[in-house]
Amino acid sequence: MKTFLNFVWETLKIVVLALAIVLPIRYFIFQPFIVKGQSMEPNFQQGNYLIIDELSYRLRDPKRGEVVVFKYPYNPSQRYIKRIIGLPGETLEIKDQKVRIFDEQGREMILEENTYLPEEDLTTGDIRLTLKEKEFFVLGDNRLSSSDSRSWGVLPQSNIIGRVLFRLWPLGEVSEINAPTY
């Protein structure tokens, strides 16, 4: 009987120690996410298993081109995945299938997305808006099949859960996810 109690005690200590290590990592540093839908094709497919970095944005602001997972502004129980296009303080214009970004000094940049979007993918819409502090403009990589800031508006920074750090599934596509250089 004493041996059994020792076994239970040792097992309980291991479980408590494992939970003390794993739970903070899972809830405050990294989180899994499974892609649902076509809005980020061709870069992310239905069923991709991703690891989300929840810590970076506590230490720095999101950057253009990063892929983020966030709570959908009109239903926070839903999680969306999109790419950050517009940053706080910028004016963003989508016109003639081009994305133009104007900084606070009025300098214009036409967003070159040919490193991660197929040439035939078009950014539709006719929008011009200025982002306020802690607001972002996000777009899906599959511009013709994405519910994004063009249809439901800006993304508040408080809704961002984290940035996509790694793709772990499918095994043939395991990779670190980095923002493109514009």
Residues recognised as catalytic: 39, 82
Pairing of strands 135-139, 155-156: antiparallel
What tokens does 51 get? 């690891």
Per the CB < 8 A criterion, the answer to whether 56 and 41 are in contact is: no
Residue type, 118: P
Per the CB < 8 A criterion, the answer to whether 121 and 111 are in contact is: no
Per the CB < 8 A criterion, the answer to whether 50 and 170 are in contact is: no
